[in-house]
Amino acid sequence: MLVPAQFDDAIYSQVGVKVPGVVDGLSVCRRPGRPKFSRREVALVRCVHQELARLWARADPVGTHTLPPRQREVLEGIRRGESRKTIAQKMGVSSHTVHTYERTLLRHAGVASRRELLARLSEVIRPNLLP
Domain around 99? 64-125
Instruction: Tell whether 4 is covered by a domain.
Output: no
Q: Which residues of the chain have pLDDT under 70?
A: 1-5, 16-23, 55-62, 123-131
Instruction: Give me the CATH number covering residue 91.
Output: 1.10.10.10
77/121 same-domain check: yes
Instruction: Tell whether 130 is covered by a domain.
Output: no
The answer to pTM > 0.75 is no
48/71 same-domain check: no
Instruction: Tell whether 131 is covered by a domain.
Output: no
Give the pLDDT confidence score for residue 7 in this predicted structure: 72
How far is residue 98's CA from residue 43's CA, in Å, rounded to a whole number? 47
Residues 6+ apart with CB under 8 A from 78: 87, 102, 105, 114, 117, 118
Give the pLDDT confidence score for residue 127 in this predicted structure: 46
52/86 same-domain check: no
CB atoms within 10 A of CB 119: 13
